[in-house]
Amino acid sequence: MMLRKITKQQIYELEIEKLKREIEIAERQFNTAEEPFISAFTYNLLAKKELLNAVIKKAKESA
C-alpha cells in the first residue's frame, strides 16, 4: 500500500472545506431553531465561523 504525502497547505484546504459544510449545517439549524435552542445554535454558528476565519488566516500565513 502506497501512502501519498500530503502538504500542510492541503490539510488547511481540507479543513476549510469541512468547516464550510459545517457552517451550512449550523446555519440551517440556526434558521429553524426554536426556544430554548436559539442561543446554543447561535453560539455554534459563531464558533464555526470564527474557527473558519482562524484556519484561513493560518493557511495564508503558511503559504
Give residues with Cβ within 8 angstroms of 45, minimum separation 6. 23, 26, 27, 29, 30
Domain-located, residue 25: yes
pLDDT digits (tens, 9 = 90+) for 9-19: 999 999 999 99
- The structural domain count of the chain equals 1
Where do we find the cell 488566516?
57
Is 40 within a domain?
yes
Residue 7 lies in a domain: no
Q: How far apart are CA 55 and CA 63, in angstroms?
A: 12
- C-alpha 45/C-alpha 23 separation (Å) is 6
4 is a domain residue: no
What global pTM score does this model have? 0.87
10 lies in some domain: no
> Could you read off the pLDDT of 26-58 as tens digits, one per residue?
999 999 999 999 999 999 999 999 999 999 999
Is the residue at 14 inside a domain? no
